[in-house]
Amino acid sequence: MQCSPCLVVALSATLVALGMLILWLYGRTPTRYGKHAEEETGEKPPEQKPRRLHLPAKCAWFLQELPAFLVPVLLLALRSPPRFAPLGCRLLGGMFCGHYFHRTFIYSLLTRGRPFPLQTLLSGMLFCVYNGFLQGYYMVYCAEYPDDWCNDIRFTSGILLFLFGMGINIHSDFLLRQLRKPGELTYKIPQGGLFVYVSGANFLGEILEWFGYAIATWCLPAFAFALFTVCFVGPRAYHHHRYYLRKFTGYPRSRKALIPFIF
């Protein structure tokens, strides 16, 4: 395989367009999994709606996220001649695959989420193949960095932002898990960490993480993915916030949806 700049631009532009479409679609009605899975769309009474197939959350998250880890790892491993040393490959391995290693093998094992709709799982899987290929292909076949990139402010600040975001994301998902005993499926008011300021603390962490990756790698595919993440998890944070305000009369009024003190 050779680097095709046209392919990189086309796939990145498609990712941004997909993000915009998702923002438009899910800005008003939430993505139908987790706490929004059973919400009414208003067209049909619930007893007339076809029942959707579901998978246990642990299994669904594992299957959904696995391609985002596996595809870049395979691209790295199968490249001939092998190419692990360049900085682009090390960034891909350490940051992108590190995140998806955690999401695939650790988050999925620990989750106490409710069963996950098969349809959402399949589209999530497809997305992970697409994005795993785009990020992997760019880093393995196209990325080139100057020798002193490790001393560049974009590299250091990007890595720090990525680690900061990852810390917030993992800690916030941990706090959400602690709200339930094993087997329990009820929703409670999230407490502690950045949940003091926002309803979507885990989503805020995820966004910071991918902007950190984009800054450290300074490339089009990574910025496209960071933008996509805002378009996907931003509306989800907003709908979670509205859900909490509806459900809990004592929900903290000063708490915002996604950006502390602002939104």
Ligand X SMILES: NC(=O)c1ccc[n+]([C@@H]2O[C@H](COP(=O)([O-])OP(=O)(O)OC[C@H]3O[C@@H](n4cnc5c(N)ncnc54)[C@H](OP(=O)(O)O)[C@@H]3O)[C@@H](O)[C@H]2O)c1
Minimal distance, residue 16 CB to ligand X, in Å: 13
By the criterion CB under 6 A, which residues form the site for ligand X? 34-35, 111-114, 169, 173, 176, 179-180, 185, 187-188, 190, 202-203, 206, 229, 232-233, 236
DSSP conformation class of 145: -
Minimal distance, residue 87 CB to ligand X, in Å: 23
Structure tokens at 88: 């682009």
Helices first, then strands: H and E counts in the chain: 9, 2
Residue (135 or 219) nearer to ligand X, CB: 135
Q: Whole-angstrom Cα distance, residue 217 to residue 88?
A: 7
Task: Give SS3 for 256.
Answer: strand
Residue (78 or 122) nearer to ligand X, CB: 122
Q: 102, 169 in Cβ contact below 8 A?
A: no
Minimal distance, residue 103 CB to ligand X, in Å: 7
Minimal distance, residue 155 CB to ligand X, in Å: 22
Q: Whole-angstrom Cα distance, residue 222 to residue 83?
A: 20
Residue (44 or 188) nearer to ligand X, CB: 188
Residue (31 or 155) nearer to ligand X, CB: 31
